[in-house]
Amino acid sequence: MAGDIAAGLTRRVIGSIKSSSGGIGQHGGFVPADAHERNHLIAILGRGILRHEPGRHSMISEQVSRLLVAQVGHELGAHQKYMGISLYFARQSLRGWAKLFHEQATEEAGHAAKIMAFLIDNDVAFNLPPIGPATTDYASATAAVETALASEQSVTAQFDAMATAAAAAGDHRSAQFLLWFIDEQVEEEAKMRGLLDLLASGINLFQAEPLLEAME
């Protein structure tokens, strides 16, 4: 059931977000160094929009529920960011680079749908967080990919914080669910680092396009 829900949500999410536009500010990744910082991050991320419905009770902890709802917003924001990067490359006729980040954007929307399906299956009532705009203007290809890496590092910190919260709450169901995302983040960060290494080699962006499939 969760798979069907996720697939349906992915189609709806991608369809609705593709119609939006705008510009974002740049920000770096954040990796909490100690317990105090992790707890602070949990408090920030926990501002998800839960609804309380009489007679219904969530099957996962309330704190983790809030973090997951907030993460839906982060994943959809990442979708916006990657669509902006895709458009940056498309405007320069770099179709291979544009395709890579378009597919990355679609993947982020799928992550949001996966989380929403989990929340629905566990009887969590929630509203969707707001999503900010995303820029299509970058100083260089390297700046665009550095933004993508910073985004992935922030997402890694967010999932680490959720795993910490799930463990503290004894929420084994959520802890198991989060393992997939934690493993996925290892691959996502490695992909962006690989792209930065490719750019650092000095290769022409058009000549680099045949190499991009190997980076996926």
Mean per-residue pLDDT of the chain? 83
Check residue 52 and give its pLDDT: 56
pTM for the whole structure = 0.77
Residue 69 lies in a domain: yes
Residue 145 lies in a domain: yes
Residue 2 lies in a domain: no
Residues in Cβ contact with 60 at an 8 Å cutoff, skipping those fewer than 6 apart: 68, 122, 124, 171, 173, 174
Check residue 32 and give its pLDDT: 39
Residues 4-34: pLDDT tens digits? 544 455 444 444 434 443 333 333 333 334 4
Residues 81-100 have a mean pLDDT of: 98
Residue 156 lies in a domain: yes
Sign, CA torsion 143/146/152/157: negative
Residues 137-161 have a mean pLDDT of: 98
DSSP letter at 171 equals -
Residue 127 lies in a domain: yes
For residue 138, what are the domain limits?
A: 33-215
> Two tokens at 206?
């058009």
How many structural domains is the chain composed of? 1
Cα separation, 195 vs 122, whole angstroms = 38
Residue 184 lies in a domain: yes
CATH at 188? 1.20.1260.10
